[in-house]
Amino acid sequence: MSAFVSEIIGTMLLILLGNGVVAGVVLRHSKAENAGWVVITFGWGFAVMIGVYAAGIYGGAHLNPAVTVGLATAGSFPWADVPGYILAQFIGAFIGAVLVFLHYKPHYDATDDPGGKLATFSTAPAIRNTPFNLISEIIGTFVLVFGILSFGANTFTDGLNPLIVAFLVVSIGMSLGGPTGYAINPARDLGPRIAHAVLPIKNKGTSDWGYSWIPVVGPIIGAIIAALVYGILVP
């Protein structure tokens, strides 16, 4: 299996399990309804772990354009491979979102809140303030990419790296996720947002395209800053 295909599969699993836990908590009549933020943050952390383990055998298991760009900026990944990885991540994210919809279809039909339905696909700010929403995504992604680069400099057993990254994502979600829902991943947000726009979801409302650039631009900026800072501190 090629790195391209493994990146699709890993990102698909990431979104299926990550947006799946949001759907379970948010949608009506799910057995996990109202389980809360802690369940969502741990669900996303485990989703990252499963996706990385699944993709890591055959590829870099980035699952995130911001991580790909950050590693390339740090000199740890060839720029020539960046477009292919990002394309695979967006494909995987779209497929994962479609699978979440199919899995929870009766619950989408039973849920009246369009905002809740959108939340199972993409992020939205708790308080809509463009500059600070952007800053939140930059900071969250900085922590993610700086942490990943730092883990690579330590002597962890390779098999533990996905687990450690999972706990990093849980920490980001609990500590920094409240303002914007911590997309920290352009593919994680935009791929499912496109799926929301095209899927036949009952009473789905808008896909909030006015906000959609923030979870794309913010993570890329945060990743580049993290790579540059890391390069200064660890030459």
Q: What is the mean pLDDT of the chain?
A: 95
For 205, other C-beta atoms within 10 Å of its C-beta total 13
Residue 77: partners with Cβ closer than 8 Å, 6 or more residues away: 60, 62, 68, 71
Q: What is the CATH number of the domain that holds 38?
A: 1.20.1080.10
Contact 182, 176 (CB under 8 A): yes
- Round to whole Å and give the CA distance between 138 and 223: 8
Domain range for residue 190? 3-233
Contact 230, 74 (CB under 8 A): yes
- Round to whole Å and give the CA distance between 161 and 100: 27
Identify the segments of the chain with pLDDT beneath 50: none
- Round to whole Å and give the CA distance between 231 and 216: 23
Q: What is the pTM of this model?
A: 0.96
Q: What angle do CA 144, 150, 152 make, to 5 degrees?
A: 105
What pLDDT score was predicted for residue 58? 81
What pLDDT score was predicted for residue 160? 84
> Helix, strand or coil for residue 114?
helix
